[in-house]
Amino acid sequence: MDVLLSSGLLKETFHSLKKNTIKNKPTAISKSKLGIFTYPCNSGDPVRYRFHFQGINLVNKDTFSKSDPFFEIRFCAPNTTKEVTVYRSEVLDDNLCPDWVPFIIHKDQLCAGDDRRKIKILVFDYDGPEQFEMIGETEIQANCLHDGLLLPLIEPKKLKKKSSYRGSGFLKIADATRISAARQKYPN
């Protein structure tokens, strides 16, 4: 797993490196790799964004219930081709039209301070720790995210295989607010 080191992901990173246990008996340690990418942040520009994402008519990936969707935001780290996960949402159980909790993210964390940088938003079905299926993904420049934007979710493997494939639902940007330093009252 490649992550951008930030306070929002420290808890997740620490958790993923713990020993796995079953009935208080330790089992094998996860064979995950952790890549840490750093770059200078612009301390003179404390801009943050508040986002509220919703899924619309997501494809069901589960057989006996509905999908348990969550999303990740990623971008290509500067001077590399590696995708870095900068945010991961909560999992919403049995829901094909999820309404995720709004979140605040710093501009440097979202897009390395470059609003023109493309970010990728991926939606997955959670099946268990380290077990999830792709529902769909979309790619957009950070500065193009705005209220009411409806983005199609595409599963690349299905797009290549089936000519009749029309997508895996939509991601709606219910709120995309730029929070300037003057409006920031509390840290995230």
What would the pLDDT profile of 122-176 be if each residue is shown by its tens digit?
Answer: 999 998 888 899 999 999 999 999 999 999 999 988 887 877 888 999 999 999 9
In the chain, where the domains are located = 42-183
CATH superfamily of 42-183: C2 domain (2.60.40.150)
- Gap between the Cα atoms of 57 and 150, Å rounded: 12
- Is pTM beyond 0.95? Reply is no
Sheet holding 48-56, edge to edge: 103-106, 48-56, 170-179, 149-152
Residue 34: per-residue pLDDT: 61
